[in-house]
Amino acid sequence: MNDKQKTKAQLLSEIHTLKQVIAQNENSSESKDITEKFGGNDNSFQMILNDLHVGIVVHDSDTSILYANPAACTLLGLTEEQLYGKKSMDPKWKFFNEDNSEMDLDKYPVNVLLATKEPIETMIIGVNRPANHDVVWLTLNGYVQLDEKGEVGRAVVHFMDISEHRRSQSALAKNQALLAESQRVAKLGGFSFDVKTMEQTWTEETFRILEIDMKGSAPEVPEGVNFIAPEYRPIANEAIQGAIEQGESYDLEWEVITAKDNRKWVRAIGKPNYVNGEVVSISGSFQDITERKQAELKLIESEEKLELALKGADAGLWSWNVKTGEDVLDERWCGILGYKQEEVTQEISSWENLMHPDDKEGIMEVVQKHLEDEKNEYNHEYRLKCKNGNWKWIHALGRIVERDIEGEPVRMAGIILDIAERKEAEAQLEQHQQQLEYLVLERTQELETKNAELDKAMKVFIGRETKILELQKKIKVLLEK
């Protein structure tokens, strides 16, 4: 009998122990079925050991292998010759710890068993199998058999392939990490509570939103409601009771006061969960919307200020989608021309149809120049037709407010101002100026006529004076004689 046959013969006496090893593997229903079916037949049991998908290896006290079933060879990626030490192994063959780090030799399962004499339970190891070009992950259990002197006689290990389970766990961990990161970025937490016990479960982000230490557990519902600002608690309590008693979902926004006494706006969405037609729990999401709410409040404030400014200036708002031709004209824009908003079609054609024929070409030219180059302002005065048929002068200002990814204009927006009174005043001023110019011209002509007459009279007067002087000189000469 050779050594290998002798080893197998010796192991036949340990078949019952190996049965217990297999039975200890709680994850193997196959092992339980085998034990029950072949419990009393050692030869049959040995045959089954060879067919098991559970790897079994028996080591001698010097760590040499006495027995390994075929599943062990397959799982470890080694041949029988390599396992029994008759053929060298690839130096790249090695064990890994559960954290993927390379396992030190003294941490190998058999070495731990022989050193500690303590059982190994559910040890997770990775095996680099160069021949298979892969790493297989195993869950391993082991124990030692002691002789009459208390010395180690055998070390038995058995293991199963959990590679698929580990890959699933790894994928799940990645998905959970991605979900957690997504929740952190979106500031979106989750919650669930039992309607009978009122015990809650929160996600990490919910703890972060409320600035609570995540080491503790989520408070029960009544205590949790206390984080809601007092002015919103009645609304929250009513929503929660409605979900519990009437099965009504809710989607509400309210302010909370965190554990650090900071006020935040949150959006709470809750829905009932049923078992046999009865609400058993409420679950939902809890999102920090403080930034959005603050932006909304600023926008509302800005819009109110804009509304006051536009109202004071009697200005109307307009927005034109360059691509679609949609033209949004607000109530005041329509009102300037005497229309109700619903009476004006929200299309660019409506605006064009209201243009004065003499002004239309100039208007479109100014618009086109602005679309081609924003340096060319859209700042133009022209006439639009009122509901009563009259023409009204307006002052239009606007600019491009949106472009597509290629930089092309998508939308223009601006205002129109009613300048009819100003235009009327300008017309009156121009008329007065013309009248004044006429009066000035008329007066100038009168003055010129008078000046001509005066000049003529002066010439007559000067002529007379000259004659008088000459006469006086002659009289003087006569008197001297």
Question: Does residue 332 sit in helix, strand or coil?
Answer: helix
Q: Annotate 222-247 with three-state secondary structure.
A: HHHHCCECHHHHHHHHHHHHHHHHCC
**CATH superfamily entry for domain 183-293:** PAS domain (3.30.450.20)
Residues 6+ apart with CB under 8 A from 240: 221, 225, 250, 270, 282
Predicted pLDDT of residue 306: 66
- What is the token pair recorded at 238? 């009513």
Crossing angle of helices 15-24 and 29-38, in 10° steps, is 150
DSSP for 347-413, written as a single string: BHHHHHHTB-HHHHHHHHHHHHHHHH-TTS-EEEEEEEE-TTS-EEEEEEEEEEEEE-TTS-EEEEE
Residue-wise over 334-358: b if at least 16 C-beta within 10 A, else e? bebbebeeeebeebeeebeebbeee
Give domain 3-161's CATH number out of 1.10.10.200, 3.30.450.20, 3.20.20.450, 3.40.50.1240.
Answer: 3.30.450.20
Predicted pLDDT of residue 25: 45
Predicted pLDDT of residue 389: 94
How far apart CA 395 and CA 373 sit, in angstroms, is 21
Question: Does residue 163 sit in helix, strand or coil?
Answer: helix
CATH 3.30.450.20 occupies which residues in the chain? Answer: 3-161, 183-293, 314-418
Predicted pLDDT of residue 393: 94
How far apart CA 112 and CA 155 sit, in angstroms, is 10
- What is the token pair recorded at 271? 């829905």
Per-residue pLDDT of the chain (481 residues; tens, 9 = 90+): 444 443 444 444 444 445 454 444 444 444 444 444 434 455 555 566 666 788 999 999 888 888 889 999 999 999 888 888 766 667 888 999 999 999 999 999 999 999 999 999 999 999 999 988 999 999 999 999 988 888 888 899 999 999 999 988 888 888 888 877 877 888 899 999 999 999 999 998 999 999 998 777 778 777 889 999 999 999 999 999 999 999 999 999 999 999 999 999 999 999 999 999 999 999 999 999 999 988 888 877 776 766 666 666 678 889 899 988 888 888 889 999 999 988 888 787 888 899 999 999 999 999 999 999 888 889 999 999 999 999 999 999 999 988 888 889 998 988 999 988 888 888 888 888 888 888 888 888 888 887 887 777 777 777 777 777 777 777 777 777 6
- What is the token pair recorded at 461? 């007067």
Closest CA to 395 of 415, 369, 365: 415
Q: Contact 332/316 with Cβ under 8 angstroms?
A: yes
In CATH, the architecture of 314-418 is: 2-Layer Sandwich (3.30)
Nearest 5 degrees, angle CA 123-CA 69-CA 163? 40
Predicted pLDDT of residue 177: 82
Instruction: Look up the pTM and report it.
Output: 0.49
Predicted pLDDT of residue 190: 92
Residue 45 φ then ψ, to 5°? -65, -35
> Which H or E element spans position 297?
helix 290-313
How far apart CA 251 and CA 238 sit, in angstroms, is 12
